[in-house]
Structure 1
Amino acid sequence: MDEKKTWDLISIASIPLVMTLGNSMLIPVLPIMEKKLAISPLQASMVITVYSVVAILFIPIAGFLSDRMGRKVIIIPSLIIAGLGGLLSGWAAWKMSHPYFMILAGRLLQGIGAAGAFPIVMPLIGDMFQRKSEVSAGLGFIETSNTFGKVLSPVLGAVLASLLWYIPFFSTPVFCLISALLVAFFVKTPKEKKAPKDFKSFKASIAWIFQTEGRWLYAIFSIGCISMFVLFGVLFHLSSVLENQYKIEGVMKGMILAIPLAALCITSYITGKAIGESKIVMKWIAFSGMLLLSGSILWISFSNGIYLLIFALSLSGIGIGGALPSLDALITQGFGKEERGTITSLYNSARFIGVALGPPVFAFLIKFSHKTLFFSVAGACIAAAILSLFAIKPPGKPPTKGTIFSTSVSKKERAR
């Protein structure tokens, strides 16, 4: 990969890093927010939930628009919207006497911005790189950046909140501005002279894709959802255990939470470099990752010791870190440019559903018992491992309507 492409990739990787920081940094701030705003834990959790829910709703729209209008045209305004949302939340917390609902309004804007930024990164990588091995390596780097944001978030959020509790809100527009400038100046997307589809043709091609290739697509969507469900659920659980049982708070808690995330981060980077172009390798790495995740979660169900918990969750991070870049590559390389944005955006919506469900489901199940929680989660992980055996496009599939459409357009252009 030449130096120019390296700078392209670094600029694109800033997007998931910024989006992750903008959300996950607030997790260690929530207990402080409860006291400062005199709100309940459920109300505090809405600061995270509203971000994820609105992103789920807007991600498919952003993906469709990026297929028609271009990736950068959607990404840069979305980063600006996310920054404005952080600015609104920070201003409300700083200046208003009762800022809760205005903070939620700012978080809603951030969710809309996130919907048009991070999910568009995957199809953008697919557009920019021609060689499949470069696409795989690029997606692995993106997952690494995303996970590094999760590693950094608890520590950075705790440090900033120790100065003033609302400073994490104000940090978001700064990060978003830097990322938008990097994308604007360094990312050059390929230009293709191709007539965009009308909505009716586009809708028909997407319906045809799911009709003919739904089995492996639904498998990948489900695995992505389950992976994020487990990741955010166990982090929420570990955070509660550290604070409630061991009285570990602030920066120290953030550093401990970073251990399994660091394992995920390193594994994502290595996997992206290793998988190359082989879809068979991607499939079996995804299967092995989900199998490791299942085993580690099942192991946790038999003991709730803190050292075992951290070690087993680190193994879980390795499993998820191996699976996600493989899934990203399978779905990104499976489609042409015209449908890639929409399909990968639907996949990212499924992942956001997992993010939104993880903490509340874990909080509900732990009320029954430690074993009930982790046996249930292990069952979901085993289902993901089984589904990973189907997470590959079968050979010899007929071309999608999108492919047929593209071919017909090319023939017309050549005739002219």
Structure 2
Amino acid sequence: MPSAPSERPLFLDPNLNIIFSVTLLAVLGVSSIAPVFPTVARELGVSPEAVGLLITVFTMPGILLTPFFGILADRFGRKKVLVPALLLFSLAGSSCSLARDFEVLLLLRFLQGVGAASLGSLNATLIGDLFTGRRRTEAMGYNASVLSIGTAVYPSLGGALAALGWYVPFALPIVGLAVAFAVLFRLDSVEVEPGNGLGRYLRDALAGMKNRKVIGLYLVSVMTFIVLYGAYTTFIPLHLSERFGSTAFAIGLIMSVGSLSTAITASGLRYLARHTTSERLITYAFALYGVSFAAIPMLPGHWLVALPVALFGVAQGMNYPVVMSLLAGLAPTEHRAIFMSANGMVLRVGQTLGPLIMAAVFAWGGMARVFHVAAGICIAMFLSLPLLIGRK
């Protein structure tokens, strides 16, 4: 049942803390290994374009499986989907640290991606189930801050662990076994009933998703993740390594700046919301994305790249939690998991296409062109969003 208001600060709520741990695992699969991409490419003898497949094969299962897991979670319960997913994520992910062949590594990353497919949507579904009204918005903001803290810490942690061996950061998912235990035995969850039959459930859910604003928010998600996982996560580390000779640890520190600025922005989101609407916050975020990408290839030193990375983080803090909160509010309880899982699916589409698109751009025009194309995508979204989601 939804948590009732209490004197205790919301971020100390035991259920929310367990959800935070799921969120931290959901971003572990990419953030902790991104700084070692240049090293992986050298050690395993693959090209910079090919190393992006470590993201692609990880995110690809989510394109098809995330909605399926959402249906199961709506029909049979959140825990019955989440616990097996956590176990697979942890065991397949930590096994990557044992791989010394790129093809084997890709296979294990694919299996880890199957486990990861539901994590990023079911955490938001659980927040929607357990909290209502302003507490739900506040919880989404805290969850986004925790996510960003994870993405801030993980690159530095991964870069530091890489000093012991490029494969060591791949062992980190083993901590997910403890999270699975906490979800199974400690987490409260909303009881669900199968209801009026699968056909009726699907028809009602699809009817709700045809809402123009819902479709617009899904488009925001896919475009955000194309530039996030294409230009930002994959090619900023490669740019720093190739142009400036940056070490994995330095790359991790620079990438962490963006995550920290996301965490700060998301934690203060309720103050920004007093001065403008949620829809405008998303629109402004894409303008900031565009400026940050345009600036990256012009800067003469690697530490200066931390400035547009920080600006990107501010934009992400304005964008991601607002999109999730709007979607959770638009979704009825009986369809919330499929609504959020459909968003998870489009996120995976963006994660999967982003490295492929930007690798093609890199092959065509070089590193600077990657950031120019990403900036163009963001400015196009800035101009289009008032029509897609309104201004309210």
Q: Same fold (TM over 0.5)?
A: yes
Matched, 1:224 2:225: no
Out of 297, 300, 308, which is 1:305 matched to? 300
Q: Is the 8 A contact 1:139 1:325 kept in 2?
A: yes
Q: Percent identity?
A: 24
- Secondary structure (helix, strand or coil) at the match of 1:333 reads helix
Q: Is the 8 A contact 1:87 1:106 kept in 2?
A: no
Q: TM-score, normalised by structure 1?
A: 0.83
Deviation of residue 320 (structure 1)? 1.9
- Residues 31-86 of structure 1 show CA distances to partners (whole Å, capped at 9, x for unaligned) of 33344444444543322211011122211111111111111221111000111212
Deviation of residue 28 (structure 1)? 2.5
Q: Which of the two has higher C-alpha Rg?
A: 1
Q: How does 1:298-337 map to 2 (within 5 A)?
A: 298-299=294-295, 303-306=298-301, 309-337=305-333
Q: Distance in 1 between matches of 2:214 and 2:198?
A: 22
Deviation of residue 201 (structure 1)? 0.6
Deviation of residue 390 (structure 1)? 4.7
Q: Is the 8 A contact 2:53 2:355 kept in 1?
A: no
- Residues 109-164 of structure 1 show CA distances to partners (whole Å, capped at 9, x for unaligned) of 2101111222111111100012x111111111222222222212221112222223
Matched, 1:13 2:20: yes
Q: How does 1:195-344 map to 2 (within 5 A)?
A: 195-211=194-210, 213=211, 215-232=212-229, 233-271=231-269, 275=273, 281-299=277-295, 303-306=298-301, 309-344=305-340
Q: Is the 8 A contact 1:133 1:275 kept in 2?
A: no
Q: Is the 8 A contact 1:119 1:344 kept in 2?
A: yes
Deviation of residue 355 (structure 1)? 2.1
Q: Is the 8 A contact 2:125 2:337 kept in 1?
A: yes
Q: Distance in 1 between matches of 2:307 and 2:285?
A: 16
Out of 64, 80, 89, which is 2:87 matched to? 80
- Counterpart residue type for residue 231 of structure 1: L
Deviation of residue 373 (structure 1)? 3.8
Larger displacement relative to structure 2 (178-187 or 247-256): 178-187
Deviation of residue 384 (structure 1)? 2.2
Q: Is the 8 A contact 1:264 1:320 kept in 2?
A: yes
Matched, 1:135 2:142: no
Q: Is the 8 A contact 1:222 1:384 kept in 2?
A: no
Out of 67, 70, 79, which is 2:74 matched to? 67
Q: Is the 8 A contact 1:140 1:273 kept in 2?
A: no
Deviation of residue 191 (structure 1)? 3.1
Q: Distance in 1 between matches of 2:325 and 2:38?
A: 38
Larger displacement relative to structure 2 (35-44 or 381-390): 35-44
Q: Distance in 2 between matches of 1:331 and 1:203?
A: 18
Q: TM-score, normalised by structure 2?
A: 0.88
Q: Distance in 1 between matches of 2:187 and 2:271?
A: 21
Q: How does 1:99-248 map to 2 (within 5 A)?
A: 99-130=101-132, 132-173=133-174, 175-191=175-191, 194-211=193-210, 213=211, 215-232=212-229, 233-248=231-246
Q: Is the 8 A contact 2:62 2:344 kept in 1?
A: no
Change (3 A) 1:182 1:222: same
Q: Is the 8 A contact 2:52 2:356 kept in 1?
A: no
Change (3 A) 1:129 1:314: same
- The aligned residue for residue 399 of structure 1 is none
Deviation of residue 22 (structure 1)? 2.6
Deviation of residue 328 (structure 1)? 0.7
- Counterpart residue type for residue 137 of structure 1: E
Q: Distance in 2 between matches of 1:354 and 1:364?
A: 15
Q: Is the 8 A contact 2:257 2:306 kept in 1?
A: yes
Q: Distance in 2 between matches of 1:126 and 1:181?
A: 22
Deviation of residue 254 (structure 1)? 0.9
Q: Distance in 2 between matches of 1:282 and 1:15?
A: 26
Q: Is the 8 A contact 1:330 1:392 kept in 2?
A: no
Q: Distance in 1 between matches of 2:82 and 2:50?
A: 30
Q: Is the 8 A contact 1:28 1:250 kept in 2?
A: yes
Structure 2 unpaired stretches of 5+: none
Q: Distance in 2 between matches of 1:53 and 1:152?
A: 25
Q: Distance in 2 between matches of 1:47 and 1:189?
A: 33
- Secondary structure (helix, strand or coil) at the match of 1:321 reads helix
Q: Distance in 1 between matches of 2:367 and 2:94?
A: 40
Q: Is the 8 A contact 2:52 2:355 kept in 1?
A: no
- Counterpart residue type for residue 312 of structure 1: P
Change (3 A) 1:247 1:298: closer
